[in-house]
A = this chain, B = another copy of it.
């Protein structure tokens, strides 16, 4: 209950967003008349707004689908495939990656470089990230796309002013993030948060208003979606699922505590227990029915399940998504996770909670980072139009 007066805001700003989202959510390219009908704005207002959005590179007209009956069909509108695009970058413990997503959400470029980042200095890592960013920019500008901004996903805690406060598995503490890369402004966020956002927007089902996204990399993070939005916590540090205790007296974790989930279900723990050299090796062995691989994955699934069941008892979320490296392993992790949920969640008997692999697999975080840039434009097109007029 707020006693503040309703803020007027700019009507044009509001309506630009309304028209753009109408195009984005339409099943087939809508005409100006379709948008006017759907939004209750006048035909003339819609036409003026659409002209501005076309001029700003956010919408494109396409040929109408032929149809029966009298009259020339009106041109349809789609989100521009040659307008602004978002650059996503990811720093993880054993790889760096880049990805560009256009306004329609399509991935237009992607590059991954596998290498252990732990022995490297943060400055070396940022230098290689800058290379990835520059090469992404060069590549997509050939296709007529314009980079609008960049977002970096990191496996750790970030502050509101763009510092990596702590990334235990990288060994980073208080590492600054470059203010620009490839000539565009940079924001930074936790990789599990960005992956969860990407899952939220990729999921067509509006029924999943709340879910726990579990990101399994060298570390384990979670993105918590409640009431249809990412829950970040009081200081932005929610989701440290990897440091929830499974066995309080268990082995020492990299964070200094005992028996954290990462010690049972982190990638390194699983590979060690399975005697596997890599995730690909683990998966091949599991597919071939190797008992050590099967047991290692079952044990990880059980540990994950104990922890996830606690989260469901606490938060009453509707679904669990296994993401990151867990997505391709979900087939073997699922029995342990589902079994523990069934036994431990008080409401499971009459209200089961489904567990499914991520729709985007291991790319969710970097795609989510790129997507966060274009979503900002889709949510506030007036800002983009104003900036492109100033610079253009």
Contacts and interface: CB of A to CB of B under 8 A. Distances in A.
17 contacts: A165-B347, A165-B350, A166-B346, A168-B346, A224-B314, A224-B315, A234-B317, A235-B347, A235-B351, A237-B347, A238-B316, A243-B344, A243-B345, A244-B314, A247-B247, A256-B343, A311-B314
A248 B246 contact: yes
Interface residues of A, number: 56
How many monomers of this protein are in the complex? 2
A260 B343 CA distance: 11
A82 interface: no
A310 interface: yes
Contacts of A247: 247-248
A244 to B, nearest CB: 4
Interface in A329-379: 343-347, 350-351, 379
Interface of A: 1, 3, 6, 17-18, 21, 39, 157, 165-166, 168, 209-210, 222, 224, 226, 231-241, 243-248, 255-257, 260, 306-307, 309-311, 313-318, 343-347, 350-351, 379
A248 B301 CA distance: 13
A233 B316 contact: yes
Contact of A235 (B238, B246, B306, B316): B316
B346 A255 contact: yes
A18 B6 CA distance: 14
Contacts of A379: 1
Given A3-B21, A168-B346, 15 more contacts: A3-B39, A165-B350, A166-B347, A210-B234, A224-B314, A232-B316, A235-B351, A237-B316, A240-B313, A243-B313, A245-B309, A246-B248, A248-B306, A255-B346, A257-B343
Given A234-B316, A238-B315, A314-B314, A306 B347 contact: no
